[in-house]
Structure 1
């Protein structure tokens, strides 16, 4: 009897405790749902906080960084009719891109995506859903898989060596004409741009490289890509303040349509050429280009299975995504890396000494050497920490209500992760504004850029992470290693290289990068493999 009573008492207390825990949990949930993140004062009618970005010499990621210093690492701003959540902390970014990854897996709709991205056929701008999942799977498992990236390594090697030989030829011609100086001045921003464009066009379509100063080739395509990015960034006002769409300020809509047509003409021509050449080639898995993979995979797909898009549109849009996303970001990162090295001659010397030790001067650096170039890899990480491809992440949009850091975030909120601010967080990085590659060999030696460490996410993380991270790292590392191994590099000015950033979809250097260079190896080491 006493035992039975004891059981009843215990059961009663368990019931009471469970009920109290339920009430506490419900109260917390209710508080979280009603609790809003801080927001800066001074929102204007119609435009909200957009005026904070106007008339400033500082870029948006810097301005939002200053707001974070005042309000904390998570806050919202009104951008026209849209509410945006700005996150400037690694742990909160991790919560958004892991715990709430599916909630923030979509992209906000935009006029630019309608008019210049085949009406959302580009998987990078496509909303979260079956079509995006299908294309993401194809890209990750087939087009940009590790095995495919490795298979196309010979293209990266041949294009880099051919482009370096262009520099060597220029130096040789100059040296023969002038005996005054052994060094020649070269504008490296354009050189990086041409090189990466050649690599990307070759791996995507199989087309041969553009010749030097080919105004009808490389420069024309780069001009169209630059216009594409400028229009994408400049047309944001139409998305944030829809009333302006009727006005079509600055003729943006027509410019976007014209640029879309220019891009479509380029990719339609390449697709037609490739389909014709495939009939005459004996294709094996090892010599397939990205466009071949897409043709093969999509040949049996119907428009219903492709969200209403025809196969050619999906192929062209995916090639456009790969080219535009891969060209500008990679060439800009290389420009920043070399700028930092020229401004820090000691780091440049250490990198070249490492190349001498690990590779020597009797053969050219290969991709198989990259794993041994610890300091060079640290340089690339430090470059992307200081100058990520975008100061702000590409925008995400919440598809339902959620809780972030205890705050209620309503459906339809734009998420902007301030990569620039996170990468310079004093609580994580000592001397955050200083270029110190050594930190990735000591205090942060285990940190990578592949979306696993949220204190350093230049390629993003989660479902919407850039799928080209492996390809980009290969191209970045081999290009920089080849350049440093083969040339002496110096600043032509007594003043440090200007490190001013320019506003755009890509975090680019505002001014060209000029360097003095001369061959570092014996003459017989050039023209190899070109």
Structure 2
């Protein structure tokens, strides 16, 4: 028993020593970067980057303030009202600059974009995103420039998006057919539908068809794909769960090393599952590419086809050392980045319209007038649906895609610190151009986003 107590004391001593050492390193770094420029002066200047709320604890900083808030994005907005459009928080052992106004964000991400362009090293990025190879986790540099060029020129060009139009039409038609069948099976009477899960299935199938030519959601999954589909659904669910719960490890890095709850191990297992799936798809597409001839090479349908053809024709830059990892990371980027944002936005649009019958009626009238009742809406109709576009923009104003954007860092921010764009706070500020936080509806013209 005594030996166990000694062991516990030794571990506790080691942890406290490590924490004190990290705190000492942080303070030393800050002092080094904030010395007076005078060559003869040794005085340390108390250089503040922005106002900082009181109440920061040693080591854990302002984390209790955010943990106690049920909705951290509203806490950011309240702090912005009190301390201004830019303020500092101590997120554990790292300082973070919170940007909560359009003007300051424009200065950071356009005029000074080169300063704030890089991404910080994170636990999730290291353990689940091919060591920061997935876009959104990638630090600024040569690799980032190369994969951005591939995504812009090869994957998201107007020609490539146009080639995938039949895929999008087919998936939307299948989804609507599934909803219609629910109505028929219920005796052609009203039936309750959990819309968020339905929209997530639609979005996933759309993205998967565009990325890999697969369908893993809904009732039309191929028999041969059922096992892989189940593994993929579980892996993506775990990815999103750990991505949303890994901030504590970034704020307090020693927790990832100790891994009390086993989250780091779970993230590694999630990465293994996703890598197995991505590698299986990649191998299938390589076999498919070997069998393609003539015009089929130029008319490939999904993103993995394009990337494999780039590999076969030697179009990858010499700056990319591991082509397999790059292809898998690009494929994973499309799947994990777009699902929640699109599904959540569609849910908010429908929910707000159902709670505003007059606006719903106007949107329906516009569809009847500009599209008609004898055909489905085409993508080419969208530029003519001005009121519907205004409703979508207004929804994004009130409920932006992500209450805050992913953190960045650079030599213009706080030492060893991050910069976070509080999107919801920027759009809801009473000092900004909107000043109508709880009001829903396009501007009086009915055509543009309020304040734009």
Q: TM-score, normalised by structure 1?
A: 0.71
What is the CA distance between 1:156 and its match in structure 2?
Answer: 1.1
Aligned-residue Cα RMSD (Å) equals 2.4
Residue of structure 2 in register with 1:360 after alignment: 372
Q: Give me the whole-angstrom Cα distance separating, in 1, the residues matched to 2:361 and 2:160.
A: 34
What is the CA distance between 1:51 and its match in structure 2?
Answer: 0.9
Aligned positions of 1:122-161 closer than 5 A: 122-161=134-173
Q: For residue 396 of structure 1, give the secondary structure of its aligned residue in structure 2.
A: coil
Q: Give me the whole-angstrom Cα distance separating, in 2, the residues matched to 1:439 and 1:432.
A: 16
Deviations 1:358-379 (A, max 9, x none): 1111111111111111111112
Q: Give me the whole-angstrom Cα distance separating, in 2, the residues matched to 1:112 and 1:303.
A: 27
Q: Give me the whole-angstrom Cα distance separating, in 2, the residues matched to 1:303 and 1:289.
A: 21
Q: For residue 319 of structure 2, give the secondary structure of its aligned residue in structure 1.
A: helix
Q: How many residues align?
A: 402
What is the CA distance between 1:219 and its match in structure 2?
Answer: 6.3
Residue of structure 2 in register with 1:413 after alignment: 417
Residue of structure 1 in register with 2:62 after alignment: 49
Deviations 1:230-268 (A, max 9, x none): 212212212211221232021011100111111112211
Corresponding residue to 1:332 among 329, 344, 362: 344
Q: Give me the whole-angstrom Cα distance separating, in 1, the residues matched to 2:102 and 2:278.
A: 39
Aligned positions of 1:76-475 closer than 5 A: 76-175=88-187, 182-208=189-215, 210-212=217-219, 216=227, 221-282=232-293, 283-299=296-312, 300=314, 305-306=319-320, 308=321, 310-398=322-410, 400=411, 402=412, 409-426=413-430, 427-438=432-443, 441=446, 444=449, 447=452
More strand per residue: 1
Q: Give me the whole-angstrom Cα distance separating, in 2, the residues matched to 1:235 and 1:311.
A: 28
Q: For residue 75 of structure 1, give the secondary structure of its aligned residue in structure 2.
A: strand
What is the CA distance between 1:337 and its match in structure 2?
Answer: 1.3
Gaps of 5+ in 2: 1-36, 39-44
Residue of structure 2 in register with 1:505 after alignment: none
Q: For residue 250 of structure 1, give the secondary structure of its aligned residue in structure 2.
A: coil
Q: Give me the whole-angstrom Cα distance separating, in 1, the residues matched to 2:355 and 2:363.
A: 14
My pick for the range that moved more, 118-127 or 285-294, is 285-294
What is the CA distance between 1:437 and its match in structure 2?
Answer: 2.8
**8 Å CA contact 1:194, 1:218 repeated in 2:** no
Q: For residue 248 of structure 2, give the secondary structure of its aligned residue in structure 1.
A: helix
Q: For residue 382 of structure 2, give the secondary structure of its aligned residue in structure 1.
A: helix
Deviations 1:10-35 (A, max 9, x none): xxxxxxxxxxxxxxxx99xxxx9945
Per the alignment, do residues 165 and 218 of structure 1 end up closer, same or farther by CA in structure 2, a change over 3 Å counting? Answer: farther
**8 Å CA contact 1:74, 1:88 repeated in 2:** yes
Q: Give me the whole-angstrom Cα distance separating, in 2, the residues matched to 1:422 and 1:163.
A: 36
Q: Give me the whole-angstrom Cα distance separating, in 2, the residues matched to 1:151 and 1:356.
A: 28
Per the alignment, do residues 209 and 254 of structure 1 end up closer, same or farther by CA in structure 2, a change over 3 Å counting? Answer: closer
What is the CA distance between 1:46 and its match in structure 2?
Answer: 0.5
Q: For residue 419 of structure 2, give the secondary structure of its aligned residue in structure 1.
A: strand
**8 Å CA contact 1:47, 1:81 repeated in 2:** yes
Q: Give me the whole-angstrom Cα distance separating, in 2, the residues matched to 1:440 and 1:224.
A: 46
**8 Å CA contact 2:434, 2:450 repeated in 1:** no
Per the alignment, do residues 303 and 247 of structure 1 end up closer, same or farther by CA in structure 2, a change over 3 Å counting? Answer: farther
Q: Give me the whole-angstrom Cα distance separating, in 2, the residues matched to 1:420 and 1:75.
A: 16
Deviations 1:48-96 (A, max 9, x none): 1111111332x22111111111111110111112111001111001000
Q: Give me the whole-angstrom Cα distance separating, in 1, the residues matched to 2:51 and 2:142.
A: 35
Q: For residue 170 of structure 1, give the secondary structure of its aligned residue in structure 2.
A: helix
Q: Give me the whole-angstrom Cα distance separating, in 2, the residues matched to 1:92 and 1:374.
A: 30
Gaps of 5+ in 1: 1-25, 177-181, 403-408, 448-530
Residue of structure 2 in register with 1:525 after alignment: none
Per the alignment, do residues 187 and 423 of structure 1 end up closer, same or farther by CA in structure 2, a change over 3 Å counting? Answer: same
Q: Give me the whole-angstrom Cα distance separating, in 1, the residues matched to 2:375 and 2:230.
A: 32
**8 Å CA contact 2:403, 2:422 repeated in 1:** yes
**8 Å CA contact 1:201, 1:323 repeated in 2:** yes
